[in-house]
Amino acid sequence: MIKQHILALRIGVAPLALLASPALAQTTPAAPPATSPTTATTTDEADDQANAADEIVVTGTLFTRTDTETPSPVTTVTAENLEQRGISTVQEGLQQLASNNGPALTNSFTANGAFAGGASAVSLRGLSTNSTLVLFDGLRTSYYPLADDGTRNFVDLNTIPDDIVSQVEVLRDGASSLYGADAIAGVVNVITKREYQGVGGRAEAGISERGDAATQRLSLTVGHGDLLDDGFNAYVSGFYYRSESLKAKDRPFPYNSDDLRTLSGPDGTPGPNNTLSGIDASGAFNGLSTAANFLVRPYNATNTAAQGRFQNLGACSTGSFTQLTAAQLATTATAPQQVCNVDFTNEYGVITPQIERFGGSARATFTFGVDSEAYGEVNFQQSTSSYTGFPSVFYGTAPTGVLFPQFSTASSAANRAAGSFPLTLPIYVCANGVGSANGLNTGCNATNGRLNPNNPFAAQGQLARLIGRDLSSTTFNQTRSRVYRGAIGVRGSITPDVKYNVGLTASHTDLERRREGYVYIANLLTAVAQGTFNFVNPSQNTQTQNDFVRPTSIVNASSDLYQLQAVVTANLAELQGGPLQLGVGGTIFYEAVNAPSGNPDSFGPTQRYFSLNAFGTSGDRTVKAAFFELDAPILNILDINVGGRYDSYSSGQNYFSPKAGFKFQPIRALALRGTYSKGFRIPSFGESNALPTTGYVTNNSSLFNDTFLRQYNCTVATFSTCPTYIRSGSYGLTTLASPDLQPEKSRSFTGGILFEPIRNLSFAVDYYNIKKTGAITAPSSAPALLAYYTGQPIPAGFTVTADAPDVNNPGATPRVGFVASQLINSDTIKTSGIDGSINLRHDFGDVKFSSFLDASYILRLETTFPNGTTERYDGTLGNFNLTAGTGTPKFRATWLNSVEIDKVQINATVNYIDGYNLSAQDQGTDYKDGGLNPGYSPTGDNIPEYVTVDLGFRFKATDRFTFYTTVLNLFDNLPPIDVVTYGAHLYNPVQGGNGILGRYFKAGVSVGF
């Protein structure tokens, strides 16, 4: 048998886990024990390991075993692993899994417009967050009430109670018939400590070399009783964690600026000036695609453009006025004399939100009879994530015809052609608001009203078009989740050959979303019509005036999960290789989500906020399932395992998902293994019953073809020279849920080899291949965009809504405002790759050395559409519909090395994540053609790999005190510059991770009594 060196190899680390108690790694053995007093105060490790030699349960199987190598590959992350690497939370550790790739959801994305802000989720195999099943001690838990990208339900990793976690088992095998057929990409099983004795605690603080992004962590755990000697154990644990927000201005160029003129591509192509001055890299003024502060333009009585330039209202509350040159003024007849030059990223940009978490846990375990055990556990955790955002807009990105239907009528065609904007300041205002808020001045006049004090052209009888932001007032976003979780259960033996395990769990998530500073459209129009808001100098408005126009939005959402599960296993006969075992089980669980929209338009298009996410959904269902597993070690060298699961949903879907595997070990040093399984995932609540959700995608050359670009004397190759009108801005990608969606189905197989040529040196390599059919997705918007811009009929299934005409290009085809499409079952998604690990341990006398490498390589990730075309994403920024432009790097690895001498331990970790090409076939480019590169990417079409090194030092001063310090990102290597990814400013938040913090120091002490 291949010898595994596994830390804390215990019987029943989490006996309340019905399907996987103390799950232990096959391919990724845990690192050597850290010198942590809190670990020393738990049950004696030597006794536990002796017991574990007789009885081990591994994630992915029902049975106790005498070895740890099952047909399915499993990765184990222990608390000691995280301590060695200087990682403070389990959430952060899971984000750094080699098998986590593609559309993962990081905490930093909260501050960059994530639909599920305030949460974190992993994406095994690059198959999105809803293809990974997250369990707590083998049982399900409630979803985060918000959905990733408005469609995908997932479990928030921030709700993991860090200080009572013994280890996390990651089943890297598609579709587990034991835990749920929806585990298409794999299972993450969080296992809590079975018992704890004594008093242990930790105090830790961290700060970057630049003096920011500080963190603090405090924890205390108290336990009493020995299960072996006393027959019981009980412990309570509490913790507090805080991570300060990091501003973009606190990092060097270009991460801190929108002015990219000094950034250039290999051929010298300069970047644009994306500050709100409207001055491009060449120094020309190309118009106010996004206006700073407030600017007005005169309109005549029929609301068509009058002669005259834009004018500034008030001073620049942020930034400074820039006087335009004569050449710049000549570029457009409506250019203002001077513009407010504001670098939004530098002034308001946030890299990471402020995070505050605290909570408590309690657990009691009792033994009775010969080998029976009962337990009860409760957890509470509150997690708050907040950040200040950009100033609120006083105009929206929604096109005129959508937001204000009166501008869609034939009689207003001239207004639209003239670039009419729905928010105009009328000439006269009336206290009762008789005057039309859209500026048409149909009810309020000199007789019943007064000249509008906020319209500088009122005395000349002209309306004023209003654009811009109140730069003195920023927005504020906060999510606060409270998670309540409880579990009780009992396990034992009916006879020496028949065992049972029964458990019940309940969890509830309460989420409060608070948004401040966003403009409520109806109130804004009322203020405009009545002249009750000072647009000339917004700082003069009272708090009451501001609160009326920008009322605070507080929305509460919740989710629930209740589950009862029972398992019985039996030894049926004795085969040559061991006992023939049969396990059967059943479960019933109820899950529900109630997430009202924070910005519904059910009362009309004006009864909503500008720019707030409109996601909302609700639903509930009951699932009944029966499952079985048969393990047959028919020979000493061959073990055959088969299983299956039948799921029945109250929403009408039913499915049987089989699974089979083998392990062949011809010699002690070599084992071969493999699995085959099928999976089934019904549509999530967000996919089948959600309000329309809109995300914004930046315009780029791949959205246009030569016919369109030739109108502006530029090509795909010279896209960076196209007018700002063409290459700036974004369009809304609106996703519509569908109650008619069918379940996704999957087929998965793995094959691997385990090799231990000499004692204490082992290798593992596993190949995986997953295929999903009927994948639920939004269709690529590229065909609709190309059809619109070239004047062709819009393809079936799409709705394209034009934006308002550009004021500086009134005769040009308006940019796309929105592309809407309904979710469909259409695609076949395939992913394949190789996981590998190397584990080495050797003692050089008093010096103990260990080295562990964990790596994952994606061979291919692609989607095939019903028409037969295939898009490939591995090694590129695709799939945008899944990854928010964070892409799918092909290779990821972590290499941990540890040297222990007496009471001192030194740990060094190398983190590697591959580079990728600036292309994405779902955005209209060819595979790895660099088609998304705007020309000023410093590294050309390819973003390089990203490597960081962490160094840790631990000193066990006494049996009760251990001091430690860690330097993360030792060489202060900031992430590669990525000018396309929009999940963060100029770097990839998944590839870059916490590397954007730069060199980071942590120090702490752990105590145990």
The DSSP code for 980 is S
Amino acid at 270: P
Q: What is the largest CA-CA distance in the chain?
A: 103
Q: Which residues contact 156 (CB under 8 A, 6 or more apart)?
A: 118, 119, 120, 121, 144, 383, 481, 483, 509
Which pLDDT does position 701 carry in this prediction? 56
Query: pLDDT tens across 27-64, in order?
Result: 333 333 333 323 333 333 334 433 433 455 667 788 87
Q: CA nearest 233: which of 195, 200, 198, 193?
A: 195
Which pLDDT does position 400 carry in this prediction? 45
Q: Which helix (H) or strand (E) holds 450?
A: strand 450-451
CA distances from 154 to 107, 130, 150, 778 (A): 14, 6, 11, 19
Which pLDDT does position 721 carry in this prediction? 60
Query: Are 119 and 158 contacting, i.e. CB atoms less than 8 angstroms apart?
Result: yes
Q: CA nearest 810: which of 333, 325, 440?
A: 333
In 225-353 the beta strands, taken as DSSP E runs, fall at 232-243, 246-247, 294-299, 311-313, 320-323, 338-341, 350-352
Which pLDDT does position 129 carry in this prediction? 84
pTM: 0.85
Which pLDDT does position 209 carry in this prediction? 97
| Below-50 pLDDT ranges, the chain | 1-54, 289-292, 396-421, 435-441
CA distances from 265 to 62, 240, 272 (A): 56, 45, 12
Which pLDDT does position 50 carry in this prediction? 38
Which pLDDT does position 19 carry in this prediction? 30
Query: pLDDT tens across 565-591, in order?
Result: 999 999 999 999 999 999 999 999 999
Q: What are the φ/ψ torsions at residue 489 (nearest 5 degrees)?
A: -175, 175
CA distances from 6 to 30, 766, 901 (A): 5, 20, 20
